[in-house]
Structure 1
Amino acid sequence: MLKWFPRDNEMKDHNLFGDEFFGTEPPCTMYEKRPLINPDTKEEVPDLFTAWIILNNPAQYNSYTTEMIKGVIAGMHRASMDRSVVAIIF
């Protein structure tokens, strides 16, 4: 074992992006974390979620802009770094 290497046993935040690439007003990329639903019982599974990445640009039939692609990348990264997210819906 690496006894010389200090350990603090705390969770680390490795997110590279904040909320600057997400929004609610078109054109934007929306990021939502929704509870995971058990398909058999229709109940929420405690502490597990799905991440929804939504392109919001209805005036142009939800085509994307360069800023929206940055939001998709940031959303994929955020979801992949979140231990409670079990699936990404794009």
Structure 2
Amino acid sequence: MMKQDLRSIRSVANIKKAFVDLLQEKPFEKIKVSEIARKAGIDRQTFYLHFVDKYDLLDKMNKEFLQVYKTILVERLEGDNSFALETY
């Protein structure tokens, strides 16, 4: 069971990296799921086990980025009452 979890984690990481690499080469609209899968070294079916489509992938990556950014911001501002985070 743990081996499958590690494989899933690795697959998702490879998908995200492949997607970012492809975004550096061409516009989002031109990227196909089959290209992401090929670059990630997985089958398209594996991509679809983790994401509905490339829009879902983009949405989930954006949400992860925003959560990481928020966490860092809160940690840096912790104890600094001169800045009200709620106003943003």
TM-score using structure 1 length? 0.27
Bigger strand share: 1
TM-score using structure 2 length? 0.27
User: More relative contact order in 1 or in 2 (CA 8 Å, sep 6+)?
Assistant: 1
Bigger helix share: 2
